[in-house]
Amino acid sequence: MNRLTTMYVRSMSNVVEDAPGWFTRALAAPVETGSVEVEGASVHFRAWGPAGPGIVLIHGGAAHSRWWDHIAPQFAEGRRVVALDLTGHGDSDTRDAYAMSQWAREVLAAAEAGGIDGKPILVGHSMGGIVSFVASHLHGELLDGVVIIDSPLKARTPEEEAARRQNAFGPKKVYPTREDAMGRFRFVPPQDSGLPAVRDHVAATSMEEVEGGWSWKFDPNFFLRVGAEDVLDSEPRCRVAYFRAENGIVSDRLMEHMRGLFGTEAIVAEIPEAGHHVMIDQPLQLVTGVRTVLSAWSVASQVPVDQAAGNVEGRVEA
């Protein structure tokens, strides 16, 4: 069953007084909310822009769709943009077990239910990048391309590593007040850089009221996932672009190893001065980079394949 809430809402409650104008305008943009049932679980999503061709934004581990609230409207002119909560995250249902391949199917279902016509482009951050890459192997014929942001792909994500070492993501704590919970919000991996308005908005939308107080909107058991990474030994079946954060989690050695996974026509670029959570500290550079990829692919789709081929590498400057 698909359900799309046709009312439009303006999400201004978490905007701080000193927020930059582009940020307040983004959070004021009309947004639709909806859900779609995928194999017995409700998957929540948010959507911007007119129905038609579009992109799906996929969050990282322990995150949720509202990490994209200030990013999504930047892509919504003439394009449908959908951001979903993977099961075990945000406002979506939990499951007894999680898998990358399962999340990939949720992404495709949310794209269709959210109003994207035709083949979507997936944009995934960290764990969401792995989901996107898995989808490019399992469902490449249904995609127009995938954009991956500072994702380790075949290595552990920083969230998984923190959980394995028991540094974070243990049993969820309940805090007596919303303010107490806000004060305990931390990024994994740690990242002190970031625009205050963005950090505060993400923190405020990462919690929910529960019995006894406030807690975080994710299921800690999502780390106990069944991997689908064995599919990554073959080449993806659609176009790929990869953005590495200069101060992120991907080492030079890992980056060199991953280049061989992308295919010869991949776009590979670095976002300067960005930490792993690029949408927190370099959101406009991220928007510029993704817009550039979307434009390049749009042009390439209109010219003969032999003229569009080639590997492009560089750095993105806002």
Other CB atoms closer than 10 Å to residue 284's CB: what's the count?
Answer: 16
Write the pLDDT tens digit of every residue in 111-158: 999 999 999 999 999 999 999 999 999 999 999 999 999 999 875 565
**Antiparallel, parallel or unpaired: β 2-9 and 31-38:** antiparallel
Average pLDDT over residues 20-35: 97
Report the percentage of the chain scoring pLDDT > 90. Answer: 70
Is CATH 3.40.50.1820 correct for 2-315?
yes
3-state secondary structure of 38: strand
Average pLDDT, the chain: 87
Helix/strand/coil for 281: helix
- pLDDT tens figures, 42-54: 999 999 999 999 9
Backbone dihedral region for residue 145 (phi beyond 0: left; psi -120 to 50: alpha; all else: beta): left
Query: Mutual orientation of helices 100-113 and 127-138 as an angle, nearest 10°?
Result: 80
Helix (H, G, I), strand (E, B) or coil at 190: coil
Domain boundaries, the chain: 2-315
245/277 Cα distance (integer angstroms): 8
CA atoms within 13 A on the CB side of 65: 26
Is the Cβ–Cβ distance between 275 and 268 less than 8 Å?
A: no
Q: What's the predicted TM-score (pTM) here? A: 0.88
Model pLDDT, residue 160: 59
Contacts of 97 (CB under 8 A, 6+ apart): 224, 225, 226
Q: What is the reported pLDDT for 235?
A: 83
pLDDT for the residue numbered 188? 85
Running DSSP on this structure, what letter comes out for residue 234?
S
- Higher-confidence residue: 10 or 222? 222
Whether the pLDDT of residue 10 is over 50: the answer is: no
pLDDT of residue 7: 39
Reply yes or no: is the peptide bond before residue 189 cis, omega within 30 of 0. yes
276 compared with 229, residue with greater pLDDT? 276
Distance CA 49, CA 204 (A): 24
**Rounded distance, CA 33 to CA 23, Å?**
20
The whole-angstrom separation of Cα 289 and Cα 16 is: 26
Q: So what's the pLDDT on residue 167?
A: 47
Q: What pLDDT score was predicted for residue 264?
A: 83
If one compares 287 and 159, the residue with the highest pLDDT of the two is 287
Residues 295, 13: Cα–Cα separation, whole Å: 33
Identify the pLDDT of residue 308: 44
- Grouping H, G, I as helix, E, B as strand and the rest as coil, residue 20 is coil
